[in-house]
Structure 1
Amino acid sequence: MFLELETECMRVYRRKVDSANAERAQLRQSLMAKEAELKALVASIGENTTQFKVDEKHTSLKEQLAAVTPLLEELRAKKEDRIKQISNVQSQIEKIKAQISDHNYQNNDGSVKHLNDDHDLSTRRISDLQMQLRNLQKEKSDRLQKVFIYVDEVHSLCAVLGMDFAKTVKEVHPSLHGTNSENSTNISDSTLEGLAQTILKLKAEKKTRVLKLQEIVEKLHKLWNLMESAEQERRQFTKVAVVLGSNEEEITSPGILSLETIQETQEEVERLTKQKASRMKELVLKKRLELEDVCKNAHMEPDMNTAPEKIIALIDSGLVDPCELLSSIEVQIAKANEESLTRKDIMERVDKWLSACDEETWLEEYNQDDNRYSAGRGAHLNLKRAEKARILVQKIPTMIDNLIAKTFAWEDERNVPFLYDGVRLVAILEEQKLRRAQREQDKRRSRDQKKLQSLLLKEKELIFGSKPSPKKTNSFNRRTSNRHSNGNGAGFMTPVPRRVSAGSATPELLTPRSYSGRYNNYFKENRRLTTAPLNFSAVSKEDSMSSFASISGSEPDSPLYLH
């Protein structure tokens, strides 16, 4: 009985011992597992190991296990927090990378599962990831700023060109218009490249339109000036008129380069061009009259190739562009004005010479007036004028010589003849110089005739002892006076240009044209013009005596007749 009881007790004791051993082994195994997990967590999060070390004084497994459990829970919480931090940073990094690479970002749990198996959850790794995130954020900010700059430039170009801005940027990427959030704006390389290419295309289009509009506006300005358009008509195109003198960068007005604006300007040019065709003939003839006035004032001959009848024929035939014809006449006007300035000094001297010739004509008429010394009204004024005219007439030879010298200097300087209404001025002056010499010879001949006549009368008085009857003397004087006034005698001859012999001057410069009626403008029509050729040889005494003999010999009582 006691033996069975003892056996049963031993069996119970062994069961208890086995159970205790099993529990101890389980506790030890659990403690070892937690210690291993604790070490892994400490290594993973990179914390200080001394802080999480189990106190060795606790010998009981349960006490050791109880001490490890809170440490393990704390490290697990830290691990979860680290995983969340890293996951958040990595999520932002992946999102920015997706925006830069233009890939769709998908937020899934794969990264979190991957982080649970990750053995590096240290603060150093978090710092590295945060540094990477900051760099990506800076790159994103730079790209976003660049996108905004590109979009602003596209907007400005579209405004100037009159193009649809929304349609233009949406062709690059839909997120570039109609979104207010920066996060929704695409900042990928393809978007930046697309915006850059769009800007280049818009700039090229702007340059093309600027050149086209400048060409149209230049034509418009020419037509305005040509047609003398009113200011109100020009004011409608003041906006586009500034394009002509502006650089491409200075043209920023909205819609100034739109297709509608260019079309309107082109239509205005076409309208004025049609009007120009109807008024061009009038404008060309007006410019021709202006040329003739300039040449007339300067006593020059206008170009006969642009004579009015030729201009009308050319315009009607359509062989010549009226604009080119008008430009040609304007060039001729400019040249005529320039040449008139070079002729100014000589022309002033010519005017003084002609004025002196007019005074000489008046003086000749005054001297022939038998009543010039009468006490009539204004006689003293005529007397004073005659005194001044005599002084001025004495200067005419010097004036002619100086004028010839000035004209020769002008011709030598320019190697062209100085023409006065189509005739060389030197030829006119030389002609008048020779005519004045001829007139002086005629005056001397007249004086000799008067002396001879007086001598013959005295001889008659000595022979017959009586004077000739007054009636006969008056008849003789009247015949002589008529002969002087009708011939090339002492009467004044107005300067008349005539052809000069080839030996009198340089052949290539002495080519005067016919001028029989041309000089009536400045040599008055009431002046007597002589057409008889000049005899430049001196008149001999025998010629004088024979001429007087022909006069006196007609009298029956003349001594020469008696002999």
Structure 2
Amino acid sequence: MTALSPPASSPRTTCGSLLHELQIIWDEIGEGDSERDRMLLQLEQECLDIYRRKVDLTRKYKSELCRTLADSEAEINRLVSALGETAASFPRKKAKGSLKQQIAAMEPLLEELSAKKEGRIREFRETQAMITRICGEIAGNGGFVASGDEQVDESDLTVKRLGELKGRLKELQNEKNLRLQKVNSYISVIHDLSVVMSIDFFKTVGDVHPSLRDNLNAQAKSISNETLARLTGTIDSLKGEKQQRLQKLQGLATTLIELWNLMDIPAEEQKKLSHVTALISSPVDEVSRHGCLSSEVIEQTEVEVERLNVLKVTKMKELVFKKQNELEEIYRSVHMDVDSDTARQILLNIIGSGNVDLSTLLASMDDQITNAKEHALSRKDILDRVEKWKFATEEEKWLDDYEKDENRYSAGRGAHKNLKRAEKARILVGKLPCEFT
């Protein structure tokens, strides 16, 4: 068989040229007509299959484009609805051209709406996160949800709903500010009370909540209901403590002044505790000086009162016996008998028993002295009359003796004095019946 030379290559291969080349090859190999028909039929079937597959693929691609177009339109409508926008906000021209052209025409609007949706979702998440955080602060559970963890209902991203959330956030922020003002006000009151009583301020507020101890505000102050209630309770407790301390110190100050007056304590020494006595008539709300109600001041005052009370006992004993002497002198002045030793022994027994307050004993002795003076005054007139009577009777006796003396008129020494005395004696004796009856 003669070898066939390859056909000259044409610049473009087509189905017709290939079929012509196939006919030449069949002629050269002597292929029969039936075989040729069978092969041609097979080629035709294979071509149909290839075209059919291509058509099916193309039809499927068209369906996908239609679905993409429909999905894009649906997504646009869904986004417009979710964002609460109107059709006028996003005008769309009537779809024209091929499917790809229609899809391409929708892409800018879809991208714009998607970007707006993402921005709106961020706003919702941030707003909801702040609401959750403030609610947690108010509830006192310290709850905080990161903005990325907030669940957002993407079917309703309207400006109206966002405005409602922001309105709720504004209300919560106002409530938070009011609570923070209350907390700061309560802390200020606790600070003032702590300063007056020299109490550890940071420990006191730290016991209410650790966040209140941080004066640098590194940690947000707790504003929960529990914290506010505990702050109120702490203030009430501190005010009660302040009232008790003031009353105690006022009582001590009153005792101090009594002791000072009783024992004539020098003014210079009294100045050491003048800051205590200055509180005697002070209302509790006006007491604000630093440390004036501290435990140290109260203890110092108690020590001083105790010291003065010890001195008071000695001083009071001296005063008691001094008054006893005064009482005895009054009795003696009116010639009343007094058992001095017995009276002093009784006083010693009373003082030694400790059953009688020395101030009460002094007051009782003052009453006795007053009564004794009144009694002495009532006896004085009688005693004076008795003294005059005794003197008059003595003068009367002398006058009798004088008149019996025959030498009474002699010019001896002192005669003129006797004459004057006799003259006075006659006058005094003449008054005896009327003055002493």
Q: Identify the residue that residue 557 of structure 1 maps to in structure 2.
A: none
Are residues 7 and 259 of structure 1, via their aligned partners in 2, closer, same or farther at CA, if it must alter by over 3 Å?
A: closer
Mapped pair 1:279 → 2:215: no
Q: How many Å apart are 1:42 and its aligned residue? A: 0.8
Match of 2:377 among 421, 426, 449: 421
| Mapping of residues 142-291 of structure 1, within 5 Å | 142-181=178-217, 184-286=220-322
- Give distance in 2, aligned partners of 1:494 and 1:250: 79
Give the length in aligned residue pairs. Answer: 377
Are residues 254 and 492 of structure 1, via their aligned partners in 2, closer, same or farther at CA, if it must alter by over 3 Å?
A: same
- Give distance in 2, aligned partners of 1:14 and 1:41: 40
SS in structure 2 of the partner of residue 86 of structure 1:
helix
Match of 1:491 among 423, 427, 435: 427
Q: Identify the residue that residue 86 of structure 2 maps to in structure 1.
A: 48
Are residues 156 and 534 of structure 1, via their aligned partners in 2, closer, same or farther at CA, if it must alter by over 3 Å?
A: closer
Are residues 302 and 9 of structure 1, via their aligned partners in 2, closer, same or farther at CA, if it must alter by over 3 Å?
A: farther
- Larger displacement relative to structure 2 (316-325 or 86-95): 316-325
Q: Identify the residue that residue 357 of structure 2 maps to in structure 1.
A: 321
Give the partner amino acid of 1:263.
E
User: TM-score scaled to structure 2, two decimals?
Assistant: 0.71
SS in structure 1 of the partner of residue 141 of structure 2:
coil
Q: Identify the residue that residue 400 of structure 2 maps to in structure 1.
A: none
Are residues 534 and 240 of structure 1, via their aligned partners in 2, closer, same or farther at CA, if it must alter by over 3 Å?
A: closer
After superposition, the C-alpha distances for 1:381-415 in whole angstroms (9 at most, x for unaligned) are: xxxxxxxxxxxxxxxxxxxxxxxxxxxxxxxxxxx
Are the aligned partners of 1:484 and 1:490 in contact in 2 as well (CA < 8 Å)? no
- Give distance in 2, aligned partners of 1:130 and 1:189: 23
Match of 1:38 among 62, 70, 76: 76
Q: How many Å apart are 1:285 and its aligned residue? A: 4.5
Are residues 483 and 254 of structure 1, via their aligned partners in 2, closer, same or farther at CA, if it must alter by over 3 Å?
A: closer
Are the aligned partners of 1:288 and 1:306 in contact in 2 as well (CA < 8 Å)? no
Structure 2 unmatched ranges of 5 or more: 1-18, 21-39, 397-405, 411-417
Q: Identify the residue that residue 139 of structure 1 maps to in structure 2.
A: 175
Are residues 21 and 230 of structure 1, via their aligned partners in 2, closer, same or farther at CA, if it must alter by over 3 Å?
A: same
| Mapping of residues 336-375 of structure 1, within 5 Å | none
Q: How many Å apart are 1:181 and its aligned residue? A: 2.2
Mapped pair 1:107 → 2:140: no
Are residues 284 and 68 of structure 1, via their aligned partners in 2, closer, same or farther at CA, if it must alter by over 3 Å?
A: same
Percentage of pairs with the same residue? 35
Match of 1:65 among 93, 97, 103: 103
SS in structure 2 of the partner of residue 423 of structure 1:
helix
SS in structure 1 of the partner of residue 310 of structure 2:
helix
Q: How many Å apart are 1:84 and its aligned residue? A: 0.5
Give the partner amino acid of 2:80.
V
Are the aligned partners of 1:54 and 1:64 in contact in 2 as well (CA < 8 Å)? no
Are the aligned partners of 1:484 and 1:491 in contact in 2 as well (CA < 8 Å)? no
Are the aligned partners of 1:292 and 1:302 in contact in 2 as well (CA < 8 Å)? no
Q: How many Å apart are 1:226 and its aligned residue? A: 0.8
Mapped pair 1:91 → 2:138: no
Are the aligned partners of 2:69 and 2:99 in contact in 1 as well (CA < 8 Å)? yes
Q: CA RMSD in A?
A: 4.6
- Give distance in 2, aligned partners of 1:245 and 1:251: 10
Higher helix share: 2
Are residues 61 and 330 of structure 1, via their aligned partners in 2, closer, same or farther at CA, if it must alter by over 3 Å?
A: farther
- Give distance in 2, aligned partners of 1:305 and 1:250: 56
Q: How many Å apart are 1:182 and its aligned residue? A: 7.4
